[in-house]
Amino acid sequence: MNSSPADQRRLLDLADLDISLRHADHARRNPPQAARIQELTARRQELSHELSARLGARDDLRTELSRIESDVAMVDARSTRDAGRLATSSNPKEAQGLESEIASLARRKSDLEDAELEVMERLEQADAAIAGQEAAIADTNAEGATLSAEAKRVVAEANARFEERTRDRAAITGTIPDDLVAFYERLAARGVGAGLLTRGTCGGCNMVLSGTDVQRIRQTPADTVVTCPECGCILVRTEESGL
């Protein structure tokens, strides 16, 4: 294929734009915050699951405390009833039985109050654990919100760059012959479409060409399109090529 050296040089601008387009496309599809946001999402699920378990445990403790308080109220009621009956009883045997039951109820109440204190302590610890879990979730949500906002900004900027580079690319391809653009596109679909030949080194793959290849290229007319024997990209020759 033949094409003027000027048209071939414009392929370098096209290749640079394609690299920029790939970077912009990658940035808008994969903002740097995405991985951390995924980690935070998974972390929040773990924390929420643990919070549910802790809330359930606290509910069980509250139920247990309510039961104990109800038992204490029943013991108090029976003690008050027995004390009233004892105060009016004239039967020594009945009085002895009431005194024994009142003593037993006092021991029962003492045991219940000990259990009540223990449950209240556990309930206090459960409340603290829940508060800590909620704080961890709040911190996770806050970091996630900050990173999400940053990711949206990065994506918006990348979209703007992508659209700008797309317009620039269309403007450049409009100045290059269609057959040369088509050839470049076929090569670019596999990797780099064009690279500057600089002192025997391909700008597409950065490989140093053999002396034989350099000599062959040196003897090739300037308007003949040559490709890199290593990567296949179009080798653009300029004053920097050192031929």
User: What pLDDT shows up at residue 232?
Assistant: 93
User: What pLDDT shows up at residue 91?
Assistant: 86
**Looking up tokens 């414009």, which residue turns up?**
10
**Whole-angstrom distance, CA of residue 233 vs CA of residue 203:** 9
- Over residues 120-146, the pLDDT tens digits come to 999 999 999 999 999 999 999 999 999
What is the largest distance, in Å, between two alpha-carbon atoms of the chain?
135
DSSP collapsed to 3 states, the chain = CECCHHHHHHHHHHHHHHHHHHHHHHHHHCCCCHHHHHHHHHHHHHHHHHHHHHHHHHHHHHHHHHHHHHHHHHHHHHHHHHHHHHHHCCCHHHHHHHHHHHHHHHHHHHHHHHHHHHHHHHHHHHHHHHHHHHHHHHHHHHHHHHHHHHHHHHHHHHHHHHHHHHHHHHHHHCCCCHHHHHHHHHHHCCCCCEEEEECCEECCCCCECCHHHHHHHHCCCCCECEECCCCCCEEECCHHHCC
User: What pLDDT shows up at residue 95?
Assistant: 81
The domain 5-26+174-241: what is its CATH number?
A: 1.10.287.1490
The residue ranges of the chain whose pLDDT is under 50 are none
Domain boundaries, the chain: 5-26+174-241, 28-159
- Phi and psi at 177, nearest 5°, equal -55, 140
17-22-27-29 Cα dihedral, nearest 10 degrees: 140
Nearest to 235 by CA among 172, 226, 68: 226
User: What pLDDT shows up at residue 89?
Assistant: 82
Q: Which CATH number fits domain 28-159: 1.10.3480.10, 2.60.120.620, 1.10.287.1700, 3.40.1710.10?
A: 1.10.287.1700
Integer-rounded Cα Rg, in Å, for the chain is 42
**Whole-angstrom distance, CA of residue 56 vs CA of residue 45:** 17
- Phi and psi at 235, nearest 5°, equal -90, 115
Inter-residue contact 234 to 227 (CB < 8 Å)? yes
Nearest to 203 by CA among 212, 190, 193: 193
User: What pLDDT shows up at residue 87?
Assistant: 85
Distance, CA of 176 to chain centre: 43
Whether the model clears a pTM of 0.85, i.e. scores above it, the answer is: no
- Over residues 97-122, the pLDDT tens digits come to 888 999 999 999 999 999 999 999 99
- Phi and psi at 224, nearest 5°, equal -95, 130
